[in-house]
Amino acid sequence: MIPLRDDAPRSSFPGVTYFLIALNVLIFLYQWSLPPRPEMRFEASFGFIPYRVDSWLSGTTPAIVAFLPAFTSMFLHAGWLHLIGNMWFLYLFGDNVEDRLGHFRYLITYLICGLAASFTHFVFNMHSKIPTVGASGAIAGVLGAYFVLFPNARVLTWVFVFVVQLPAWLVLGWWFVLQFLSGAATSMSPAVQANPVAVWAHVGGFITGMFLVKIIPARKSYYAFEEY
């Protein structure tokens, strides 16, 4: 299922969402401009590597080397399709969550979800030396928040050869179930442990977003649309 458009109303300009999209695109263009070897070193330096956290726990890696990439990895992407897919979901669902929370609290929620996603990935892949990059963990948090706030919003969705309107709880709930099942499969079966997608990060980000939006108050001027 590929979401194309939603009908949840908003009453403010999603400046932070657009800023995050622009920042991710600019950083990716910089990555893309690098020759292959420097690009690999760039991702190795700023991508999140679970093994570094594991080695920090044993006292062999400095804390900044182990933990700073949990933040910087949120702004790196592995390719054009990776970037476009992430930015599309952020564009589609982020504006309404930003409208609900307000700009600053939305940004903080986004960053916290991204960090939570990285450390969820660490829990399930402690010894991995493969750098993980991408905004999808933070964006999964946005999806989790949207799932809670606008479950009955209608999402125009491309399903195989059909374009249909589906409730947001179904579209996002199905996405979450797929991530969870994929994560469970990678944990239980050695045959699929080479999955390049950090699906447990998606699960951790989504759940964190659901939780945070329950405890973070709406912006004072937010207009509550009763139908949602």
Contacts of 118 (CB under 8 A, 6+ apart): 48, 69, 70, 73, 74, 132, 137, 201
Mean pLDDT of 183-187: 81
Mean pLDDT of 45-67: 91
Segments of 7-83 assigned E as strands: none
Q: What is the spatial distance between Cα 87 and Cα 85, in angstroms, rounded to a whole number?
A: 6
pLDDT above 60: residue 140:
yes
| pLDDT score for 171 | 96
Domain boundaries, the chain: 14-215
**Nearest of 23, 161, 14 to residue 86 by alpha carbon:** 23
Q: What share of the chain is helix, strand, coil (3-state, %, to 5)?
A: 65, 10, 25
| pLDDT score for 136 | 95
Least confident residue range of 8-17, 36-45, 111-120, 145-154 = 36-45
| pLDDT score for 190 | 53
Structural class in CATH, domain 14-215: mainly alpha
- 185 versus 116: the higher-pLDDT residue is 116
Give the Cα-Cα-Cα angle 96, 107, 183 (nearest 5 degrees).
80
Terminal CA-CA length for the chain: 22
